[in-house]
Amino acid sequence: MRFSKLFAAGLTLPLLSCAHTRHQPTKQLDNINLGSFTPTASYILAQELGLFPSQGLNVSYLLIPNSTFAYNQLLTGGYDVLFGAIDNILNRRFNQNLNLSAVAQIDAGPDYAIYGVPGINTVQDLKGKSLLVDSPVSGFAYLVRKILSLYGLRIESGDYNFTAVGGTPFRYDALVNGTFAGQPTYATLLTWPFSAYANALPSTRRLNILTRVSDLVAPYTSTCVTASGRGLANPVTRDKIVRFTAALLDANRFLASTRRKDKDCARKIIIRFLNVTDAVGAAEYAAITDLVTGEITRGQKGNLTVDQVGTINVINERLEFGAFPNVTAGFDFVEAIKPGPGKVVDDAVLKEAVAIAGKEVKCRA
């Protein structure tokens, strides 16, 4: 499955929802439904290197249209597991008392940047304009507000506004097309790998990087393997989530390998999947292996641990804009995010995944 080829072919985004079938099953595999806004490098490697079948799993990759739909699906069993920002967990746990947990951290915002269309060259050019977001109350909306506030632009002062479009693939499509719902588009926050697609556009359509998130906010806990309390309480679903996380862990460790042949293999797989030039692919590989913002950060401790400092930065971002309205005075956020079974960060699943990880990885680049 190649996301970039679908874009190049001009096919509609919903066609990205699919079950990956690169490795034909040689034995009966258990299906697991993954909801995801965008693929991650660890997921791509796990799929391409056959690590999911090694754990007895066939992953059905289901593209998420927007965060509201995504978390409703997770809570009602439509998704077994979900790739989503930890902010969405914090918002739904603390504001809505919904039972969601982060069981592993995949990345810390690799190559996250605010991109503008041709003619929008600086952050100041966004004054009076509308930025595309998933939802005005989603985590990335608050991240954008934080970044723009550092440049002196504030939404509450009417300096700019938001247009809700949906997940990153939909925002990318709207930004490149230049219109959404009949109105011109100006800028949005893009995440990996759509930053790669943006950087690979022809010069006449090239989007401008207005500011990089990592230059202003780091560390920043972003994509996490997310599960519902309902799913974790079901022994069958929980077992699949543990095996899914173990496969990701093996892929992540392969990505972190310092052996030249492993690095070359991982880079080739990423470039082939993204369908970009070697130069663009090398830059995107560097982004996902960055030790501060990538998928192998120091805060993840080499085993997909959820970074507490990065999570506190996400909490502080929401607190700055009053985005925890249902949290009582004196609420102890530090205590609330301490790992434990059934908590915001459920480290029990990760411990089980670590115990069964360690499958042999053979390069298939």
C-alpha 346 chain-centroid distance: 18
Can you give the pLDDT at residue 20? 41
- In the block, tokens 């996490």 appear at 224
Length of the chain: 365
Predicted confidence at residue 26, as pLDDT, reads 55
Partners of 345 in beta bridges: 102
The one-letter amino acid code at 137 reads V
Q: What span, in angstroms and rounded, lies between the C-alpha atoms of 337 and 190?
A: 27
Structure confidence at residue 4 (pLDDT): 39
Contact (CB, 8 A) for 55 and 243: yes
Residue indicated by tokens 């995010």: 337
User: Along the 365 residues of the chain, how does pLDDT read in single tens digits?
Assistant: 344 343 333 323 333 333 344 444 457 999 999 999 999 999 999 999 999 999 999 999 999 999 999 999 999 999 999 999 999 999 999 999 999 999 999 999 999 999 999 999 999 999 999 999 999 988 799 999 999 999 999 999 999 999 999 999 999 999 999 999 999 999 999 999 999 899 889 988 999 999 999 999 999 999 999 999 999 999 999 999 999 999 999 999 999 999 999 999 999 999 999 999 999 999 999 999 999 999 999 999 999 999 999 999 999 999 999 999 999 999 999 999 999 999 999 999 999 999 999 998 988 77
Contact assessment for residue 5 and residue 51, using Cβ atoms and an 8 Å cutoff? no
Q: What does the CA dihedral 40, 44, 46, 50 come to, rounded to 10 degrees?
A: 160
Q: What is the pTM of this model?
A: 0.90
Eight-state DSSP code of residue 261: H
Do 2 and 29 meet the contact criterion of CB atoms below 8 Å apart?
Answer: no
Output the pLDDT for position 138. Answer: 83
CA distance 61 to 298: 28
What is the C-alpha R_g of the chain?
19
Angle between helices 139-150 and 308-320 (to 10 degrees): 70
Q: What's residue 362's pLDDT?
A: 86
Which domains does the chain show, CATH number per domain? 3-108+221-356 (3.40.190.10), 113-215 (3.40.190.10)
Cα(48)–Cα(62) distance, integer angstroms? 17
- Mapped onto helix, strand or coil, the DSSP state of residue 186 is coil
CA dist 51 and 259 (Å) reads: 19
What's the confidence (pLDDT) of residue 127? Answer: 98
